[in-house]
Structure 1
Amino acid sequence: MPSVAKLLLLVIALGGGFFASDILHWFSTKNAKISLDEYCLITTKSCTQDHKTVQADKDTSQPLVPTVVEVDWPESSSEQLLISLQGYEMEMGKVVFKLDKNANGKFSGQVILPVCTTEAMTWYGTITDGAETLKTSIRMER
């Protein structure tokens, strides 16, 4: 075997070994689908998880149309909550929205989801006050 081929095989073997954990992690997260059963679906019917309640002004959101989300988080001393969502059926990055505390002690704000190429999509993620989190999801349809 020529020296160039040996050197090339050595570089490939070293590179594969160096990046092996990253490659395995990428394949394991790509193929591992989460279960949405443990996520609170945001609809007009309130969903409660650990004494925290979340509700929206509509059952399904539409792309680029605001959906008002209201959260009752009694034990939070925070002045705002953050909703962080990502696509379930397809990767579209992560979107983050802020919910502000209103006069009655509940948090509310608007969620405006981006346009995607499919007719319907589920967004899942968390609502957090910085100390605790609530797993949540929202359904979007055109």
Structure 2
Amino acid sequence: MNLTGTGRRRGVELMGLALVVAFGYFFADKTLFDEATPAMPSLTSNCTIGTTPCSFDNATVSMASATAAPLIPTEIRVEVSKSNIDHLMVELQGVEMNMGIYKLKLSSAGNNVFKGDLMLPICMEDEMTWRGVIKSPDNVLTLPINVRMAR
């Protein structure tokens, strides 16, 4: 019986297993769990919506109050110059705190007006800014906005 060949093979198997475990330990976070963060629109082109409307080339955006309160519906109104779309989408991300992406569908109210009730989640801060975009389903219309939230 040749025991040295079996022992050597067993040693190579254990060394290979140790290398696989070490590779997984050091590189799994980067390769398996690396989440791409969605890009935020640039700050320079944003308008903070409120009772004073934000005017764009082909649309006007306003909100029923100067700031949105957490967990209280606040109407957003978008009036576009011409439209053949049936809805718009609002996508917002917290600037000061990562609270995920808030999405809202604005429905047509007729006469190229779209409305929806914004109801942002509560956060730890008394005030924060939500930055995002209002866009058409085909992305032809894109309106970068900020929404100020205060308790």
Corresponding residue for 2:149? 140
CA distance in 2 between partners of 1:37 and 1:74 (Å): 23
Moved over 6 A (4+): 2-6, 22-25
Q: 1:37 aligns to what SS in structure 2? A: coil
TM-score between the two structures when normalised by the length of structure 2 = 0.73
Name the aligned partner's letter for residue 76 of structure 1: S
Structure 1 unaligned residues grouped into runs of 5+: none
Q: Secondary structure of 1:102's partner?
A: strand
* 1:94-126: CA deviation from partner (whole Å, max 9, x where unpaired): 221121211332111211111111101111111
Equivalent residues in 2 for 1:58-77 (5 A)? 58-77=65-84
| Contact 1:40-1:49 at 8 Å conserved across structures | no
Task: Give 1 or 2 for the bigger CA radius of gyration.
Answer: 2
- Which residue in 1 is equivalent to 2:48? 41
Q: Count residues in correspondence.
A: 138
Cα RMSD, aligned residues only: 3.0
CA offset digits 1:75-112 (Å, max 9, x no partner)? 32111111111211111122211212113321112111
- Give distance in 2, aligned partners of 1:63 and 1:18: 38
Give the match for residue 136 of structure 2.
129
**Deviation string, structure 1 residues 20-47 (Cα, Å, up to 9, x no partner):** 4667766xx59x9864232221111111
Q: Percent identity?
A: 34
1:117 alignment partner, one of 119, 124, 134: 124
Question: Which letter does structure 2 place at the counterpart of 1:136?
Answer: I
**Bigger mean CA deviation after superposition, 3-12 or 72-81:** 3-12
CA distance in 2 between counterparts of 1:82 and 1:24 reads 27
SS of the residue aligned with 1:122? Answer: strand
Separation in 1, partners of 2:15, 2:48: 56
Of the structure 1 ranges 112-121 and 95-104, higher mean CA displacement relative to structure 2 is found in 95-104
- Whole-angstrom distance in 2 between the partners of 1:34 and 1:51: 19
| TM-score normalized with structure 1 length | 0.77
Distance (whole Å) between structure 2 residues aligned to residue 88 and residue 22 of structure 1: 27
1:103 corresponds in structure 2 to 110
* Unaligned segments of structure 2, at least 5 residues: 1-10
1:12 aligns to what?
A: 22
Output the CA distance in 2 between the equivalents of 1:33 and 1:73. 23
2 CA distance for matches of 1:119 and 1:44? 20
- Say which SS state the counterpart of residue 65 (structure 1) adopts: coil
Q: Which amino acid aligns with 2:23?
A: A
